[in-house]
Structure 1
Amino acid sequence: MKHIQHVFFDLDHTLWDFEKNSALTFKKILHEYSVNVSFESFIDIYKPINANYWKLYREERVSKEKLRYGRLNETFEKLNYNASDDLINLLSEKYIEHLPSFNHLFEGTFELLEYLQDKYVLHIITNGFEEVQTVKMEKSGILSYFNEIITSESVGVKKPNPKVFKYALEKANAKSENSLMIGDNLEADIQGALNCNFSVIHCNFDEEKVKLDNLISVTSLNEIMKYL
């Protein structure tokens, strides 16, 4: 990939270990606010519900507020736990507040960023909530590696909307033919970037079957060094 000058990363599920940090956050706040449910059952039920709400959020079918309330409300309903609106709203706020306190990164994050930083200009493109993404990067020690941080909220639409990628190119003073997107989500990161003529690398850490042809796919961050 000798033509690449700018490398754009997704954050959650790509560099920042969202599932691990999210689970630790819930373990803390469910205990702190005496929510009497099985933690393991809560996480097992919450994860697919949260993933579905994020899909709806990317598609502009639910608001940020509806996502934050709905994912918890549906989880408690499936657990047959009677949670009041006040409790759900409190947990929603505390979750966002405490999430950046846990800063597990995927193995190889620092090694990869150190390897890339002198060769390319690095950036972030994220659909995550603006008030927490920069704090996550700062507390996990990776913020200084990135030149531009592009959040979907700053654009007004979410990946895979092409407006996000075009805005990112403008902010970075980059051209799509010299840009690479690295991310985990086939729809939001990979197809969205391909539609805007980026090169792409798919982070397939769960080794799921991928339907896109001729796609560079890696199962660990260290593998990316083979291509850059």
Structure 2
Amino acid sequence: MKKGWLKILIASPKKYEYLLFDIDNTIMDFTAGEKTALFLTMEEFGISLAQTDYQKYLAVNKAAWSRFEAGELDSIDVQRVRFEDFAAHLGRDVAQATDMNARYVENLGEQAILFDGAAELLERLSRRYQLAIATNGLSLVQRARLAKAGILPLFRGVFISQEMRVPKPDKAYFELIFAFFGDEAREKYLMIGDSLSADIQGGINAGIDTCWYRPAGEALPADIAPTYTIDGYAELLALLLPG
């Protein structure tokens, strides 16, 4: 029996009304989309990337978004900093960073790669719960991907940090969601996502239950405690649609 199943089976049943879903690497394969968009963008600039270059981009992008989550950068700064750092790594004029980022954002918006079973999961859950998107990221990218994937009608609300001007995991981010639904009862909400720093810590900061989605089976650090830990969609359905 998987560890995720064990935690669900021993968990006390709760009556949720609102399910808040992260997008990237929770319902969409951001890793694959990001790689495709980056390589395509660099080809447009006449740059052939090596695997080491790709790993460098991942590192600078992660660092920039970590600073965003900490409130040190806004979403505009993230876009500038990551491609300035990456252009410097490639030995290119950092003045190209703005154009590189613009093309990358457009290309990334085309990468609406749903994980197998994600659409069915959301459709089934939408019959019982009110669903919402709760995502860090850029509005242009996230809205384009959601529209292209054809799943927007399943969600009552779409909450993107760039539009809200506050990052997940900030408590204020979730308070805006509570205000949208007109319901401050935190026991009615469940945050579902793959990021411990944004999704799980954000839910904890806001005082709501959390569900850590970890299909790769990563070990849980000792300093954070999701309400639930799952390894796949079947476990989430068992939790939320039992019987």
TM above 0.5: yes
1:31 aligns with 2:40: no
Runs of at least 5 residues in structure 2 that lack an aligned partner in the other structure: 1-12
Match of residue 52, structure 1, among 57, 60, 63: 63
Amino acid of the structure 1 residue aligned with 2:85: E
1:133 aligns with 2:142: yes
Residue 88 of structure 1: how far off its partner (Å): 1.8
Q: Matched residue of 1:227: which SS?
A: helix
CA distance in 2, matches of 1:177, 1:219: 23
Residue 94 of structure 1: how far off its partner (Å): 0.4
Is contact 2:87-2:96 (8 Å) kept?
Answer: no
Is contact 1:155-1:163 (8 Å) kept?
Answer: no
Counting aligned pairs with the same residue, the percent is 25
Structure 1 match to 2:201? 191
1:167 aligns with 2:176: yes
Match of residue 25, structure 2, among 4, 13, 24: 13
1:153 aligns with 2:169: no
Structure 1 match to 2:114? 105
Deviations for 1:84-109, whole angstroms, at most 9, x for unmatched residues? 13322111000111112121122221
CA distance in 1, matches of 2:99, 2:164: 28
CA distance in 2, matches of 1:58, 1:163: 12
Q: Given the superposition, is the C-alpha separation of residues 181 and 34 from structure 1 closer, same or farther in structure 2, using an over 3 Å criterion? A: same
CA distance in 1, matches of 2:229, 2:31: 20
After TM superposition, the score normalised by the length of structure 2 is 0.86
Q: Matched residue of 2:34: which SS?
A: helix
Q: Given the superposition, is the C-alpha separation of residues 214 and 155 from structure 1 closer, same or farther in structure 2, using an over 3 Å criterion? A: closer
CA distance in 1, matches of 2:48, 2:234: 41
Is contact 1:73-1:83 (8 Å) kept?
Answer: no
Q: Matched residue of 2:48: which SS?
A: coil
Is contact 2:37-2:108 (8 Å) kept?
Answer: yes
CA distance in 2, matches of 1:69, 1:209: 33
Residue 37 of structure 1: how far off its partner (Å): 3.3
After TM superposition, the score normalised by the length of structure 1 is 0.91
Structure 2 match to 1:201? 211
Is contact 1:108-1:222 (8 Å) kept?
Answer: no
CA distance in 2, matches of 1:77, 1:206: 33
Aligned residues: CA RMSD: 1.7
Is contact 1:9-1:181 (8 Å) kept?
Answer: yes
Amino acid of the structure 2 residue aligned with 1:47: L
Q: How many residues align?
A: 225
Amino acid of the structure 2 residue aligned with 1:144: P
Residue 201 of structure 1: how far off its partner (Å): 0.6
